[in-house]
Amino acid sequence: MDLFSVLQLLGGLAFFFYGMNSMSSGLERMAGGALERALKKMTSNRVKGFALGAGTTAIIQSSSAVTVMLVGFVSSGIMTLRQTIGVIMGSNVGTTITAWLLSLVGLESNNVWIKLLKPENFSLIFAFIGIL
């Protein structure tokens, strides 16, 4: 590792911390009470927080992005650390579930239940639910 690699690393960290600081202050200014009340309701217990984390990760496909947003919420005072723990755990499990679902593509069987597990068969059901 040479000097320029270290400088790039430090520059990247500086941009990351600047972005986190900007996001936290922006969220604090824009959110007001509405976002805080909504997040408090959605994370009122650990199961709800877990489901929120798994669902958010499934939608945006990045547990890292969810975790960074949660750090911003905590640092701006919108959420408490206790609320974020369930969401982070759900986010990590959501990443695992997404990879597991993609691995189901390789299933081969004549069994009806196994065929229903293939994403090409159940994705239409999810698309219909999404439209509703």
pLDDT tens string 20-66? 777 767 766 776 677 788 888 999 999 999 999 998 888 777 788 88
Query: Other C-beta atoms within 10 Å of 65: how many?
Result: 13
Give me the pLDDT at residue 73, please.
83
Distance from C-alpha of 99 to C-alpha of 54, rounded to nearest angstrom: 13
| Secondary structure element (H or E) that encloses residue 95, with its range | helix 81-103
110 secondary structure, DSSP code: S
CA distance 100 to 102: 5
> In one letter, which amino acid is 121?
N
Rounded to whole angstroms, the maximal C-alpha distance in the chain is 60
pTM of the model: 0.62
**Residue 66 half-sphere exposure toward CB, CA atoms < 13 A:** 27
- State the pLDDT confidence band at 84, using cuts at 50, 70 and 90: very high
pLDDT tens-digit series, residues 98-129: 777 777 767 677 887 777 777 777 777 777 87
Residue 70 to residue 48: CA distance in whole angstroms: 15
